[in-house]
Amino acid sequence: MTPTLLFLGTSDSKGVPRLGCECALCQSVRPSARDFRTRASLLLQATEGTILIDTPPEVRLRLAAEHRPAPDALFMTHPHDDHILGFSDVVRSARTMQRPLPIFAPAEVFTGLRDRFGYLWESPTWSQEAELTVLEGAIEVAGWRLEAIRVHHGRNGWAYGYLMERSGWRAGYFSDALHVSDEVLGRWQGLDLLILGANFWKEEAPLETRSVYDVQEAITVAQGASVRQLILTHLSHKIEYATISPLLPSWASLAWDGRLIQISPIERTNPDEADGTNSTSSPDALYP
């Protein structure tokens, strides 16, 4: 099978529609619309198996809706509700599958998870359900090379994102980041695909109250890092697909729940492109 990335969820922390909101989008959006969003997670699929990044509250329902199996491995970015509230649903699939679920995260992410889900850790069957690996540096799982990268998450402190590599194709998944360090920007340099969280088109709130890039900042950052493609996720109710999409450069686009990216080997005929200038070729050429 062609390796794929599937956006299971693409919303900011509150979901779209946002509960209690009377804005036009929240009032009108219906399931199956591109603006109907569940909390952010990503599924990597390949012949060797399936990797899930994050377990938002809706993850079990989203896996079912997309007809996807329980994942073979789980990677976690940070212990905030919108990324973890489906954790026990996914971990408990291990019982049904009759094998422990390999779970990968940096140590401080596991600490946060244990604070929230201590009852799982204390369960007598925990060792049959979960096989924990503390990430230090890159790791090879199911044909992918993944590396956790710690990023600044504004007023929310810190989060991790993942660099993902497969057959020379390099991508980054950073759903929750703001004003990352020069060192992290260096790691994004020339990526074939950067997936970046952006809550709003332009966020007017004071910097100290913010936690994620806005769309315009994300484009500037991606341009600075000369990534070939940018896909924006972690989108709020203020991002209307039909309005915002036409405003993006040709190499940038919005994610939606159920968006599937097929990873095909990239032909780099132009040597200048090999070191990662923003591609002007059609995204469809890269991701048929």
Minimum CB separation of residue 12 from Zn ion in Å reads 7
Of residues 184-243, which lie at the interface with Zn ion (CB under 5 A)? 237
The one segment of 14-22, 131-139, 247-255, 257-265 that binds Zn ion by CB under 5 A: 14-22
| Cβ at position 180, least distance to Zn ion in Å | 15
For Zn ion, the closer of residues 26 and 163 by Cβ is 26
Of the candidate spans 23-31, 103-111, 165-173, 180-188, the one that interacts with Zn ion by CB under 5 A turns out to be 23-31
Among 8-16, 124-132, 138-146, 216-224, the segment contacting Zn ion (CB under 5 A): 8-16
Q: Which is nearer to Zn ion, 26 or 261 (CB)?
A: 26
Q: Are 29 and 35 in contact (CB under 8 A)?
A: yes
Q: Residue from 5, 6, 26, 193 that binds Zn ion (CB under 5 A)? A: 26
Interacting residues with Zn ion between 66 and 95 (CB under 5 A): 82
Whichever of 18 and 150 has its CB closer to Zn ion, that residue is 18
Q: What is the 3-state secondary structure of 243-281?
A: HHHHHCCCCEEECCCCCEEECCCCCCCCHHHHCCCCCCC
State phi, psi for 50 to the nearest 5 degrees. -120, 130
Can you say whether residue 277 is alpha, beta or left, with left for phi > 0 and alpha for psi between -120 and 50 degrees? beta
Residue number with CB closer to Zn ion (239 or 286): 239
Question: Taking CB under 5 A as the rule, does residue 153 contact Zn ion?
Answer: no
CB of 236 to Zn ion, least distance (A): 8
Greatest alpha-carbon span in the chain: 57
Strands 230-233 and 193-197: parallel
CB of 262 to Zn ion, least distance (A): 26
Q: Write out the binding residues for Zn ion, residues 154-183 only, by CB under 5 A.
A: 176
Of 17-25, 88-96, 247-255, 261-269, the window that binds Zn ion (rule: CB under 5 A) is: 17-25
Nearer to Zn ion, 18 or 170 (CB): 18
Tokens of 264: 């095909």
Considering the complex, state which of residue 44 and residue 239 has its C-beta at the smaller distance from Zn ion.
239
Residues 6+ positions from 160 with CB-CB distance below 8 Å: 76, 77, 78, 105, 106, 109, 148, 149, 150, 151
Residue 69 DSSP label? P
Stretch that binds Zn ion, among 21-29, 46-54, 115-123, 142-150 (CB under 5 A): 21-29
The whole-angstrom separation of Cα 121 and Cα 139 is 24
Q: Which residues of 176-203 are buried (b: 16+ CB within 10 A; e: fewer)?
A: bbbebeeebeebbeebbbbbbbbbbbeb
Residue in 284, 277, 246, 46 with CA at minimum distance from that of residue 166: 46
Q: Which of 18, 150, 166, 210 binds Zn ion (CB under 5 A)?
A: 18
Using CA atoms of 266, 219, 281, 35 in order, give the dihedral in degrees to the nearest 10: 90
CB of 152 to Zn ion, least distance (A): 14
Contact set with Zn ion (CB under 5 A): 13, 18, 21, 23, 26, 82, 176, 237
